């Protein structure tokens, strides 16, 4: 009977673990600013216009949570922040699978993927005036490869992953695992 209970318990763990899905997002951030930024002027440089009010609203919430003021004009800001987000057209990517067994060869498979991204690129307002190209002083970026075209599904998880790192200096890019919730779990 004890073996049956143990087997039942282990099988329950596998059932619940298989129901949980997650994504690994890639995060990178660099900051070369010499002084602390207090206000930002947002420029949406994204070509992705579907639901743009929703995305911009969520991005503004994140910036406000960092203690920043959203300026009404570039002249009133310390930093001009170009925000870009979206999903690419589908493309083919080769995925490698390693077999855990000894003397086994790795296998490859070609899959169709979409590249999802959110990018923050900042330039000090005083540097930007009258110049065509300026090297950005702030660059924060999050990305994720998906097999489905559904940016709205991945956006909150990607934004949550990048939030603590916006405007920070990372020594190297990070991979962060985010658990996806079902619609029922969100309620």
Q: How far apart are CA 136 and CA 127, in angstroms?
A: 10
pLDDT grade, residue 178 (50/70/90)? confident
Q: What is the mean pLDDT of residues 8-37?
A: 64
- Percent of the chain surpassing pLDDT 90: 43
Q: What is the mean pLDDT of residues 155-172?
A: 92
Question: Whole-number mean pLDDT of the chain?
Answer: 80
Q: How far apart are CA 140 and CA 122, in angstroms?
A: 9
Q: What is the mean pLDDT of residues 144-164?
A: 92
Residue 93: CB atoms within 10 Å: 14
Whether the predicted pLDDT of 1 surpasses 70 = no
Q: Could you state, in order of their start, the residue ranges of all structural domains in the chain? A: 21-86+117-186
Whether the predicted pLDDT of 159 surpasses 60 = yes
* From the candidate CATH numbers 3.30.70, 3.30.460, 3.30.160, 3.30.1490, the one assigned to the domain spanning 21-86+117-186: 3.30.160
Q: How far apart are CA 116 and CA 56, in angstroms?
A: 16
Q: What is the pTM of this model?
A: 0.76
Whether the predicted pLDDT of 131 surpasses 70 = no
Q: How far apart are CA 168 and CA 21, in angstroms?
A: 29
């Amino acid at each position: 009977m004890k073996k049956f209970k143990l087997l039942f318990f282990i099988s329950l763990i596998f059932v619940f673990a298989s129901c949980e899905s997650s994504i690994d997002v890639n995060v990178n951030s660099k900051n070369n600013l010499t002084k602390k930024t207090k206000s930002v002027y947002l420029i949406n440089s994204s070509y992705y216009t579907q639901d743009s009010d929703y995305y911009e609203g969520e991005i503004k919430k994140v910036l406000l949570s960092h203690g920043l003021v959203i300026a009404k004009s570039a002249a009133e800001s310390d930093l001009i922040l170009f925000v870009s987000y979206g999903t690419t057209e589908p493309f083919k990517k080769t995925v490698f699978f390693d077999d855990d067994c000894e003397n086994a060869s790795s296998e490859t498979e070609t899959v169709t993927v979409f590249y999802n991204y959110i990018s923050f690129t900042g330039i000090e307002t005083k540097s930007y005036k009258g110049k065509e190209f300026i090297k950005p002083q702030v660059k924060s970026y999050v990305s994720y490869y998906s097999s489905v075209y559904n940016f709205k599904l991945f956006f909150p998880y990607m934004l949550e992953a990048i939030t603590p790192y916006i405007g920070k200096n990372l020594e190297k890019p990070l991979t962060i695992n985010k658990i996806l919730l079902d619609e029922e779990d969100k309620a």
